[in-house]
């Protein structure tokens, strides 16, 4: 399992918080961060950069979480598929991930981060 949503199960959230405390582990979503917008994962690849830049323009002070699924333009990316029909993505998993990488490293997004003084951190630094 690569993602656990604790919002609908307080008992699961309590267990994860206790484990995080006992083992000194950060848990995404339980560090006091807020999610940035709705993310860019389902946006068409050509729209990801614009949407991410717009989301970064609107965040205030605090700790924010942007979940990304980056990937490079390689054969391995283009053969990825979601196993569940409900999760199938219009442009394909590989193209979506390549689009995310392009958005994350774009000059436009970098400019917004620098101009707004956004500090990029990882969980190790928290």
Residue 3's pLDDT band (boundaries 50, 70, 90)?
low
Q: How far apart are CA 88 and CA 108, in angstroms?
A: 29
User: Residues 53-69: what's their mean pLDDT?
Assistant: 93
Domain ranges of the chain: 1-30, 35-125
Predicted structure pTM score: 0.82
Q: Nearest-CA neighbor of 106 among 33, 41, 47, 66?
A: 47
Query: Which SS3 state, helix, strand or coil, does residue 65 take?
Result: strand
Residue 1's pLDDT band (boundaries 50, 70, 90)?
very low
pLDDT tens figures, 78-104: 888 877 777 777 788 889 999 999 999
Cβ-Cβ contacts under 8 Å for 52 (sequence gap 6 or more): 40, 66, 103, 104, 109
pLDDT tens figures, 12-42: 888 888 998 999 888 887 788 888 877 788 8
Burial status of residue 13 (CB atoms within 10 A of its CB: 0-12, 13-18, 19 or more): middle
């Amino acid at each position: 399992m690569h993602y656990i949503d604790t919002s609908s199960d307080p008992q699961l959230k309590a267990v994860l918080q206790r484990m995080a405390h006992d083992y000194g582990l950060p848990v995404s979503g339980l560090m006091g961060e807020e999610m940035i917008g709705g993310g860019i994962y389902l946006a068409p690849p050509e729209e990801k950069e614009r949407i991410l830049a717009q989301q970064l323009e609107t965040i205030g002070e605090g700790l924010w979480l942007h979940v990304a699924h980056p990937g490079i333009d390689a054969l391995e990316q283009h053969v990825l598929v979601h196993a569940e029909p409900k999760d199938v993505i219009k442009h394909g998993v590989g193209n979506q991930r390549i689009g995310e990488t392009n958005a994350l490293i774009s000059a436009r997004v970098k400019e917004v981060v620098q101009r707004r003084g956004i500090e990029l951190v990882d969980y190790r630094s928290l």
